Amino acid sequence: MSWKGWCKVTAKDLVEKFGLQAVAGEKGLGRSVKSGYCGDLLSDVMANAPEGCVWLTIQSHQNIIAVAVLREMACIVITGGHTPDTDTIDKAGNEGIPLLLWPGSAYTLAGSIFSAGIK
């Protein structure tokens, strides 16, 4: 199933389609996903990630939440089996940023999201 032609894809749609685990920010699962961004260097992400993106990263510390808020992202996916600490989960919940987990590589998930129609 492709999302090509859909009016709105949400973070919840990503969870359901790709089997992502939501660990925080459930109140933000209705956020629209307009594009994607992959990166682990926070300064690069702050400078280049587009508004409304799904961000794929291996970073799992609190600063990722601040970057997501700054760039008005739809959600964050922590890839590669990395897991956030309690403070990061709490901050994501407080900010309403969906924090999702993916056990596989960012490369694999990015390709799947792209193929589904999120450019």
Residue 85 reports pLDDT greater than 70:
yes
Tens digit of each residue's pLDDT (9 = 90 or more) over 46-55: 999 999 999 9
Short-list 116, 87, 109, 96, CA closest to 4: 116
Per-residue pLDDT, 6: 52
Share of the chain above pLDDT 70, in %: 94
Residue 58 reports pLDDT greater than 90:
yes
Residue 4 reports pLDDT greater than 80:
no
Sign of CA dihedral 106, 45, 9, 20: positive
Q: What's the Cα-to-Cα distance from 81 to each of 20, 58, 78, 102, 104, rounded to whole Å?
A: 11, 8, 8, 6, 6
Residue 15 reports pLDDT greater than 90:
yes
Distance CA 48, CA 42 (A): 10
Residue 22 reports pLDDT greater than 90:
yes
Candidates 3.40.225.10, 3.40.1390.20, 3.40.50.720, 3.30.470.10; correct CATH number of 11-115? 3.40.1390.20
Using pLDDT thresholds of 50, 70 and 90, give the confidence band for residue 2: low
Q: How far is CA 97 from the centre of its chain?
A: 9
Domain boundaries, the chain: 11-115
Using pLDDT thresholds of 50, 70 and 90, give the confidence band for residue 119: confident
